[in-house]
Structure 1
Amino acid sequence: MIVFLPGELTNSFERSTMLNKIFSFFSFLFLAVTTVVVLYSCANIAAPTGGAYDVDPPVVRRSTPDFNARNSTTKRIEIEFDENIKIKTPNEKVIITPPQQSMPVIRSIGRKAVVELNDELLPNTTYTIDFTDAIVDNNEENPLENFVFSFSTGDQLDTLSISGKVLSASDLEPVTGIYVGIHSNFDDTVFTRVPFERISRTDSRGQFTVRGMSPGEYRVFALGDLNRDYKYDNPQEVIAFLDSTVTPSVMQAVR
């Protein structure tokens, strides 16, 4: 069990708030054991199977830019499927990282999922759009589970990830819908001044996966972000952090 501890903070306001609102990180799973095969296997293009009643999720046909594209400059992403789709509660379910300061536009148009980024693209950066289970077919609403789209604005696509679970320290119940973010800057107050470098959000089981990480050492935080600025700047926000750093590394995927 890995527990979030309050640590040494620079002022009494931060210290007292965090002591009152501690979460624990429990069962940190598979620190960066994922590879490109694991992360993007959901993007494979295949022919759908038929049946009397449609139980199959939508199948990807093509996209702009391509999956895992390098040196991409477009802020509009279009993913076309084999049937009409809907995107359910995109502002809650779809996680874009690096986190966006201006709200992106996420919508379905017929067979297409369209994402329009309003922030300027960062150079040499891997962008990851985690649709979770938001994309469903238009009729039976069969979800496309764990669907992730990535591209890079540089020559390299970062594919490391960390996964885990956030539980309430008071009763060990899963914490749903809380942001999990990382920083490679180890300054004591960076999480109060600078938005997270990459983010995820816990599901109904308290589980999360931060994707598109580059090799290096990171601090991991959980934040009940009330104003979506991806930093701790409000005394009403719950905050916790892992008391040790994580260093993702590649391991062979096992099927």
Structure 2
Amino acid sequence: MKALLGPVGIVLKYASLFVASAVAVLPLVVIGMAAFKPTQEFATSAPLSPPESWAYLGNFVTAFTRGGMLQGFVNTSIILVVSLVGTVIIGTMAAYALDRFDFRGKKLVVALFLVATLVPGVTTQVATFQIINSLGLFNTRGAAIVLFMGTDIVAIYIFWQFMQSIPRSLDEAAMLDGANRLSIFARIIFPLLKPAIATVVIIKGIAIYNEFYIPFLYMPKQDLAVISTSLFRFQGPFGAQWEVIAAGTVLVILPTLAAFLFLQRFIYSGLTQGATK
């Protein structure tokens, strides 16, 4: 019986891997082929049929000129950099306070952090929109930046897990030398959090890069479009230019794919270190 289940189990294992890979890869293949097809060819050819000419770049030109992809990349880069810097600073300082200080209501604060992860963000959008509008941030990059910096409970949790692995004796030794809490955090604790910072930057950066809902809702002005909302311009009431959308999607995917392939070792090592320490 075991001898029979052995080969069957192996076949089922590789079959499931093949199906999962096909489900993930086939949409990307269809999008990649559609990006190089003119409108007429896209309308008459099958989704999995290769384009007649891989040298056709008209869809990419249209995506850049009419879709404002270049402006979208600029806006996305500004929001991405400022949000990541703010997330790292706020997250590390919050984690330092939670780990190193004992204060009244600490357990309640931690519990509220955990509860906040269970609340769907869409249920609080009415109140969030009113706050952003009252602060005068609607239709500015500041709206997305503030929301990206102030709602990442996962980043605080990752920093907190790493912070617990840093011995408190380092803080005590620095205090004996006359250092204050701010100096200890900036000169000792923060440099030791590089693996956690790399993990948060990668995960948070990809999330901000791919975000559509927040820019679409809080920055409807055309000059403030990011790369995700720039693609939406090719969706109209009477149809969509799917071949142009495919070309824009390829342009959006390439930076993310390159960043992931280059930095994936930091993602895996950072997550596993945070889980074991």
Query: Of Structure 1 and Structure 2, which has the larger fraction of its residues in helix?
Result: 2
Query: Of Structure 1 and Structure 2, which has the larger fraction of its residues in strand?
Result: 1
Q: Is TM-score (shorter-chain normalized) higher than 0.5? A: no
Greater relative contact order (Cα 8 A, min sep 6): structure 1 or 2?
2
